[in-house]
Amino acid sequence: MEGKVRSIAKGGDGIVNAEGLPVFIPGVLPGEVIEFTILSQTKQIARGRLDRLISPSPFRIAPPCPHIPLCGGCNFQHVVYSQQVNFKLEIFQVNLKKLGRILHPPEIEVIESPPYRYRSRIEMQIQNGRIGFFQRQSHDIVAIESCHVMPAEMERFIDRIRPLCRPYNEGQIMILTNGSDLAAMLITPEKKLYLTEAHDIIFEFDPYRFRVRPENFLQANLYLLPTMLRILENELHGKRYAQAADLFCGIGYFTLPLGFHCHDVFALENDESNLRALKINLSLNQRKSVHIQAVDVGRASLPQVQLIVADPPRSGLGEGLIEKIATVSPEKLIYFSCDSATFARDAWLLYRRGFALKTVKLIDIFPQTDHFEIFSAWTRE
């Protein structure tokens, strides 16, 4: 079949109309004329395969990675970086309109990243002694010889540990770097062991210091880690809150700056490894006004505070937690999201409960993919 790609969807697939259905096709760009085959379909959508490019987009480039298109990691490497960001903005705006019913959001500021060698942490798979990443929509791996989004020290480290991993049929390798130091852990069904002498490393962003282990959660872009702290601090600049809550606080990455702007901070987290790191980081930075609550945030009662910061997993806040936030009725809600669809869903729920979106930013923490981070600030009307 032949068709013209009309738009790009969340997930990075291009959309072609055929036989009355939208056909989602990986690796194609808006404006391209293509030959394709439909592989599967339902009553609402179809999925297809690119067979031939008839008229390529001017934004198409040759992917530098030799593992494209098998590797499921980078689905935008065939797009020039400046246009990747434009596509992400388009995806975000469509989701805000269709799922969030937000027709006139504030102007969305876009914060870009260096396009390669940006990862602070990475998780790789082991299968039958090989190290790699999952293939697209598969649990089979692509054995990786090089990766353009890893810092060079990560690549060199992986080359060194290949012989060590050959005896294992399955497992994961978690690697963390601050750009100079590196820590790594091997996890198999039988054991966990560190692959480096260092079990943790220090990230320093004046005036904060964070001690982090490979198994902890930390945003994955080395270049934008300090930027995200500055975004939060700029939003709080000149303000002082009596009490704040940091939901899904992890290792305390946003808890520490909150401690400078609030008399008391309640830090809510349930992951044991993150809680251990949180306690270490509070001590390291001499933050005594933070009260840790080891709870499942979705099920917990929220403290009565004037400011809430939330950085939930990809599933978002959800209706139940938003109802609790509305009951607390903070003066300000700061919501970091890593999924534009669940963010848009939550945005509509927040609007319905009297919150107004004042600031929104698209932070491109994952170049070469369709993923990005969202910063938003809300006030109660």
pLDDT digits (tens, 9 = 90+) for 67-117: 998 898 899 999 999 999 999 999 999 999 999 999 899 999 999 999 999
Give me the mean pLDDT over the 246-272 stretch.
96
Mean pLDDT, the chain, integer: 95
Extents of the domains making up the chain: 2-60, 86-114+223-380, 121-206
Q: What pLDDT is attached to residue 287?
A: 87
| Residue from 81, 148, 156 nearest 119 by CA | 148
Q: What pLDDT is attached to residue 164?
A: 93
Q: What pLDDT is attached to residue 136?
A: 84
Residue 248 has pLDDT above 90, yes or no: yes
CA gap 261, 246 in Å, rounded: 13
Residue 138 has pLDDT above 90, yes or no: no
Residues pairing with 131 in the sheet? 126
CA gap 92, 51 in Å, rounded: 28
CATH topology classification for 86-114+223-380? Rossmann fold (3.40.50)
Contacts of 107 (CB under 8 A, 6+ apart): none
1-38: pLDDT as tens digits: 999 999 999 999 999 999 889 999 999 999 999 999 99
- For residue 137, name the pLDDT band (cuts at 50, 70, 90): confident
- Select 2-60's CATH number: 3.30.460.10, 2.60.320.10, 2.40.50.140, 3.40.50.150: 2.40.50.140
Do the bridges between strand 182-187 and strand 192-194 make them parallel or antiparallel, or are there none, so unpaired? antiparallel
Residue 253 has pLDDT above 90, yes or no: yes
Give me the mean pLDDT over the 295-321 stretch.
97
Residue 260 has pLDDT above 90, yes or no: no
As to burial, measured by CB atoms within 10 angstroms (0-12 exposed, 13-18 middle, 19+ buried), residue 252 is buried
- For residue 268, name the pLDDT band (cuts at 50, 70, 90): very high
